[in-house]
Amino acid sequence: MRIAPSSIQEVNDRIDAVAVVGEYVRLEKRSGRYWGCCPFHQEKTPSFTVDADRKMYYCFGCHQGGNIITFIMDMDKASFPEAVELLAKKAGVELAYEGSGDYEGKKDSHKEDLCVLYDKLAGSFHYLLMEKPEYAHAKQYIMERGITEEMLGRFRLGYAPADRSWLFRFLSKKSYSPELLAMSGLFYQDYPQSAFFHNRLMFPIADRQGRTVAFGGRLLSGDGPKYINSRESDVYKKGATLFAIDLAMNEIRRTKSAYIAEGYMDVIALHQAGISNAVAPLGTAFTDDQARLLKRWADKICLVFDSDGAGQTAAVKAILTGRKNGLDCSVAVPGRSLPEDGDAAAPLKDPADILKQFGPKTLQKSVKCSINDFEYLVNRARSLYDTSGPEGKARAVAFLFPYAAALDSEVSREACLADTADIFGVERQAVFADYRRDRQNNRPALSSAAAGGEVREKTLRMNDELYLLTAVMVNQWMYPKLRSSLSIEELEDPGAKELFIALEEWFRNRNTGEGEKSRAIPPDLLSRINGEALRNFVIEQGVKGAFSSNPEALIQDSIRQIKIKRLERRQGEIVMELRKQKSDYGGGGVLPPASLPVSSEDLLTEKAHIDAELVRLRGAARSGPY
């Protein structure tokens, strides 16, 4: 289902570019523009600018730019529709959709219905926990864990009654159809009126936009798994979702770091201790998808896992996953002292237990006390193997090989292997040789894309054609003039051709009334440019204001110059061909037209036409716009 272009344009017209960007970047107004430090690269002197009128941003340092929709896409790593929908909510625009078949329309509607159902149900569960005396035991349980009412509200914790048929009756009374309830995942498939969650403390799970997409439930009494999660659905993939990502995202973005805990209660405890960039996987190990999700905003993670064997094994796997996806890692380490009252040192347990026993300040101090992942793995290797003998040393060294392989720098990898050799007292060359052998035995087959390397976009250089098409992109209301004066076959530059195609697609799909003079490039026009380098090139030229002064004359003159150069090239080709034919005939003088082949007569006719057209175009250039 596609968002209607008219809705996209309405969102772009109504949003305040400075207000939107100002939520992410501190901006100051200078010389009619707003400036700040670029959110896309590290800098001390502001080179990032926002044009409030054109509703565009651009960094003169890293050359990244776009409109406000692409800004949200870059900052939140959202898709184009997600960014438009987020901005529509800010601007109060009700989006219209078009171009969807029945199946896709029903599928998207189904997703939206599920999210609305889950969100309202989360509110109902929360009400039962907080307001109903008959469920006070559930609230008492969570409060005894040291969790405050503020946290109960922030995380919308709730309670699902023990009566398995209660939920079906409750939702049926709210007029939800049996079909929607059957596909909601809230009931057993074989028993469609029996609730999947019952007598459980409920943890709503949201996506990064804050939409409720699933639930987790902790058993309070009786038999059954301690924790269960919703089944996967069209809106919920547990391996690609992180608990509390919606609450933690702003702090993750601000600090460029995240804390990874093991469970719901640990995350809530960390947030209560002021560590609001904490999240948790959902019943699985930390996955590549989750690491890539965090990498959108964070450069590093700190693992806060249990101190038992299972927790340490999970930490090792999470380190490798994080490093493989470009995240620096550290680990909150077992064995560091906790109490502030002079008691004997206690091992670091899980955050929820620390909060309960020692309070939020001690939890914050304990978790902030961490070591880097390499040191953690060295200590883990020492605890697993007897390094007093050669066999134990070999195993301990090999334990570090997957970590070295996960590093994204050859320099870092070499330093890691050298340090490993020194720490365990073995020759560096021996470690390097063992590592190479280990990699040969465990190296996955390279894909053709990886083997061939990434295709890099060619450096873009301004020329007449690219200049013209960029000017029309910025002043898109002039495209009909370009369209009637020049065809894509008359262009040679690949970038200019791509911009011509983008303009043509936009022109054909525009709404009646679009194409009026505007200082802003329409979002759905920019989105049609496939190459990022080309898109940023257009944005940079637009932000510089190179095409804002008398664009009509500028574009007409550019069209004229391209036509003149094309005709001059053809004129030269014809002259060369005529000279060749003259040489082939061996004549000493110019042959009369009657003695030339028909093709030569055609060439002379074409040359005469070109000569006349060049005279006209050059005359028009001297006299002004034609």
- The arithmetic mean of pLDDT across residues 444-460, rounded, is 36
If you compute the radius of gyration of the chain from its CA atoms, what whole number of angstroms results?
Answer: 33
Q: Which two tokens stand for residue 557?
A: 């003159």
Contact status, residue 195 vs residue 215, Cβ threshold 8 Å: no
Grouping H, G, I as helix, E, B as strand and the rest as coil, residue 444 is coil
Contact status, residue 347 vs residue 137, Cβ threshold 8 Å: no
Band the pLDDT of 349: cuts 50, 70, 90. Answer: low
**Residue 441, burial from CB neighbour count under 10 angstroms (0-12, 13-18, 19+):** exposed
49: part of which helix (H) or strand (E)? strand 48-51
Kindly tell me the number of DSSP H helices and DSSP E strands found in the chain.
28, 16
The packing angle between helices 288-295 and 309-324, to 10°, is 60
Flag whether pLDDT at 540 surpasses 70: yes
Q: Looking at domain 2-98, which CATH architecture does it have?
A: Alpha-Beta Complex (3.90)
Flag whether pLDDT at 193 surpasses 50: yes
Grouping H, G, I as helix, E, B as strand and the rest as coil, residue 404 is helix
**pLDDT one-digit tens code per residue, 289-334:** 899 889 878 889 999 988 778 888 899 999 999 999 889 999 986 4
**pLDDT one-digit tens code per residue, 584-626:** 655 544 444 444 454 677 778 878 888 888 888 777 655 444 3
329: part of which helix (H) or strand (E)? strand 328-332
Contact status, residue 311 vs residue 333, Cβ threshold 8 Å: no
Model pLDDT, residue 359: 86
Which percentage of the chain shows pLDDT scores above 70? 86
Band the pLDDT of 498: cuts 50, 70, 90. Answer: confident
Q: Which two tokens stand for residue 302?
A: 């700190």
88: part of which helix (H) or strand (E)? helix 80-91
Model pLDDT, residue 260: 96
Q: How far apart are CA 55 and CA 68, in angstroms?
A: 6
**Residue 175, burial from CB neighbour count under 10 angstroms (0-12, 13-18, 19+):** exposed
Listing from the earlier edge strand, what are the strands of the sheet with 33-36? 28-30, 33-36, 48-51, 56-59, 65-67
Q: How far apart are CA 39 and CA 30, in angstroms?
A: 19
Handedness of CA 565, 478, 609, 573 (dihedral sign): positive
Flag whether pLDDT at 155 surpasses 90: yes
Which percentage of the chain shows pLDDT scores above 90? 32
Q: Please tell us whether the domain made up of 102-236 is placed in CATH 3.60.21.10.
A: no
Could you tell me which residue, 337 or 598, shows the higher pLDDT? 337
Grouping H, G, I as helix, E, B as strand and the rest as coil, residue 3 is strand
Contact status, residue 302 vs residue 348, Cβ threshold 8 Å: no
Mean pLDDT of the chain: 82
Flag whether pLDDT at 259 surpasses 60: yes
**pLDDT one-digit tens code per residue, 68-112:** 888 888 887 778 888 888 898 888 888 887 765 444 444 456 778
Q: How far apart are CA 200 and CA 99, in angstroms?
A: 43
Residue-range domain boundaries for the chain: 2-98, 102-236, 237-384, 385-443, 557-623
Model pLDDT, residue 47: 87
What is the value of pTM for the model shown?
0.63
CATH fit for domain 237-384, picks 3.40.50.920, 3.40.1360.10, 2.170.130.10, 3.40.50.300: 3.40.1360.10
Contact status, residue 551 vs residue 542, Cβ threshold 8 Å: no
Q: Which residue from 512, 538, 513 is spatially nearest to 525, judged by alpha carbons?
A: 538
Per-residue DSSP letter, 510: P
Find all residues with CB under 8 Å of 181, minimum gap 6, and list them.
Answer: 168, 171, 172, 187, 192
- The arithmetic mean of pLDDT across residues 334-348, rounded, is 48
Handedness of CA 292, 296, 300, 306 (dihedral sign): negative
**pLDDT one-digit tens code per residue, 555-568:** 888 888 888 888 88
Q: How far apart are CA 280 and CA 448, in angstroms?
A: 35
Residue where the block lists tokens 């049926």: 172
Contact status, residue 381 vs residue 423, Cβ threshold 8 Å: no
Flag whether pLDDT at 348 surpasses 70: no
